[in-house]
Amino acid sequence: MNRRKFLKISLASAGALTAAACGGSSSAAPAEIHFGAGLPLTGGQAREGSLFKKGYELAAKEVNDTGGLMIKEFNKKIPVKLTMLDDKSDPTASVQVYEKLATEDKVNFFLGGYSTPLVQAHSIVPQKYSIPYVNGGGSTGEIYQRNNKWIFGLITNIERLATTLIKFIAAQQDAGKLPKPVKIALLVENTSHGKEFVKGVEDAQKASPDRYQVVLNEAFELNIKDADPLMQKLKATNADVFLCDARVADYTTIHRRYVELGLKHKVVSYGPRGPEKAARDAIGAGSNYIVAANWWNSALVDEPSKAFTAKYKAAYANEDPEWFAALGYETARVMFAAIEQAGTLDKTKVRDAIAATKMKPSLVIGGEVSFDTDGQIKNDYMMTQNLPDGKVAVIWPSTLASQAAIVPIP
């Protein structure tokens, strides 16, 4: 072996050893992992959007405080970077925001937006650019039934919400607190959200006509300004139970008129709405005893919920967390965990890791995150009841309940 040949072999061996020491990768590790989210930071849903933002920021801070996400491919921890853009609560702008995140900001991964119509609109973008997307703000099953393999949702569908309320009503019937059959008045927003809610109740009625009788089934347009005609119609039905599926703004408007007219039912629910502070402040004592089926609440006393509430309060000036922030936090955690599990920033491998997620403990009801084949979680709802003085009690399921539900409403 001559000197020139020896030098070549030595340099090649040194190079191979260096590459092996760096994890065997042929590409350099990025300085940061870039996540993009489009959130309603102004406009009608700015409040909820800002709570999701806080959840994302809290999860990112936690990771960055430990040096970042451990990526096996680079054998090092890489910090995370969030870019959160404002979609102005507008579905069209929401699509544009995610397009921008993909093409201009060139994010590695997407975190989801809020609310259902906005998620429904922009959830086509992840598939277009093959970028994994996890959200905690879009609930309707329609979002996930489009054979889109790049989107995952942490909140279970609305049909299950209706089913949860129906199971709760059945339990009250069995306890002798509600009649059989119980007359149900149903008002829903005129969206896929509302339609799924109606389907859940109607399926229950078909299965058990001896238990449930729907005496009113009406849809109303979003952002209702005067609920008076609707409440007059409700009044004429003499229902036992009033179930409504509505956004926070519509819940406030409708229930205010409900209280003004002196209406009363044995059970009142606005679906996932009820304990929101802004709404309770706006309605006052009239919001007492409303029951809500929801994805999370700070009244939960399981260990993950207690830990999150404490962390959130410490980070945000003792502010009580609402489910929007909790689901934002959990959405980011699921994405982070899947990336670490995949050990790479390869988008397809990360998507597969998200699909295979079995994360526990978790804030979601049931304590474990796993996704169905359509990409949506299929866990249960929990239920709360508003109590006087702004308090909230967990009333369902019995394993999480802090007290029995007050039925009928006093």
| Interacting residues with other proteins (CB under 8 A) | 42-47, 89, 187, 190, 218-221, 223-226, 228-230, 232-233, 235-236, 248-249, 252-253, 256, 259-262, 278-279, 281-284, 286
Give dist(CA 216, CA 167) in Å, integer: 20
| Ramachandran angles phi, psi of 179, nearest 5° | -75, 165
Residue placing its CB nearer to other proteins in the complex, 29 or 263:
263
CB of 19 to other proteins, least distance (A): 53
Residue placing its CB nearer to other proteins in the complex, 211 or 255:
255
CB of 290 to other proteins, least distance (A): 15
Residue placing its CB nearer to other proteins in the complex, 243 or 395:
243
CA neighbor of 223 nearest in space, from 200, 249, 262, 197: 249
Residue placing its CB nearer to other proteins in the complex, 124 or 387:
387
Residue placing its CB nearer to other proteins in the complex, 328 or 375:
328
CB of 229 to other proteins, least distance (A): 4
Residue placing its CB nearer to other proteins in the complex, 161 or 234:
234
CB of 147 to other proteins, least distance (A): 30
CB of 393 to other proteins, least distance (A): 22
CB of 247 to other proteins, least distance (A): 10
Give dist(CA 288, CA 248) in Å, integer: 16
Residue placing its CB nearer to other proteins in the complex, 44 or 367:
44
Largest CA distance in the chain: 103
CB of 86 to other proteins, least distance (A): 11
CB of 255 to other proteins, least distance (A): 9
Residue placing its CB nearer to other proteins in the complex, 39 or 154:
39
